[in-house]
């Protein structure tokens, strides 16, 4: 009887320990991953806002704000070196990274400029956003990001 109880207590303890390990696993995210999550959130809001002219009329302000945030996040992520060893077939990952990040920063700045005009133009904003999206994909292709959800 006592032994049965001990086995139970031990395995319960083990489960708690395993759950704890699972949780702390989330804290292993690289700084770049954390910024990318914010990038992704801002990106999703902008995407929604430029989906059609009716959305844009309602969400103009949010699109403008999130575009500014995107510029900030892009600049924040440029100095991060987490991903440099993930580049495939790149002789000079750091240079490639800088080029791709500069494109991301530049296109985000352009988007922010267009979206933050006193009366922003829908077509111009949508076009500027497409240019930003391309820079996301260009970089993820080189640095082999698996997630397909953006």
Give which of 96, 97, 125, 94 is closest to 112, Cα–Cα.
Answer: 125
The length of the chain is 150
Q: How far is the CB of 84 from ligand HEC (least distance, A)?
A: 9
What minimum distance in Å lies between the beta carbon of 148 and ligand HEC? 10
Return the H-helix or E-strand segment holding 133: helix 122-142
Nearer to ligand HEC, 57 or 144 (CB): 144
Quote the CA–CA distance of 94 and 96 in Å, as a whole number: 5
Residue closer to ligand HEC (CB basis): 12 or 93? 93
As measured in angstroms, the least distance from the Cβ of 79 to ligand HEC is: 12
Interface ranges with ligand HEC (CB under 6 A): 30, 32-33, 36-37, 39-40, 43, 82-83, 97, 100-101, 104, 132, 135-136, 139-140, 143, 145, 147, 150
Task: Give the separation between CA 89 and CA 69, rounded to whole angstroms.
Answer: 32
Name the token pair of 30: 């690289």
Nearer to ligand HEC, 124 or 131 (CB): 131
Nearer to ligand HEC, 56 or 104 (CB): 104
Note whether 70 and 35 are within 8 A (CB).
no
Q: What is the C-alpha separation between 8 and 34, in angstroms, rounded?
A: 39
Min CB(36)–ligand HEC separation in Å = 4
């Amino acid at each position: 009887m006592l032994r049965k109880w001990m086995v139970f207590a031990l395995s319960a303890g083990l489960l708690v320990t395993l759950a704890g390990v699972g949780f702390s696993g989330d804290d292993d995210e690289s700084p770049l991953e954390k910024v990318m999550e914010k990038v992704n959130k801002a990106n999703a809001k902008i995407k929604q806002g430029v989906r059609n002219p009716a959305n844009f009329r309602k969400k103009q302000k949010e699109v403008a704000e999130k575009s500014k945030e995107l510029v900030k996040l892009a600049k924040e992520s440029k100095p991060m070196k987490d991903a440099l060893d993930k580049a495939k077939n790149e002789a000079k990952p750091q240079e490639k990274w800088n080029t791709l990040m500069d494109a991301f920063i530049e296109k985000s700045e352009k988007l922010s400029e267009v979206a933050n005009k006193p009366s922003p133009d829908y077509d111009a904003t949508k076009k500027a956003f497409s240019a930003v999206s391309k820079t996301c994909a260009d970089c993820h292709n080189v640095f082999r990001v698996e997630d397909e959800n953006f």
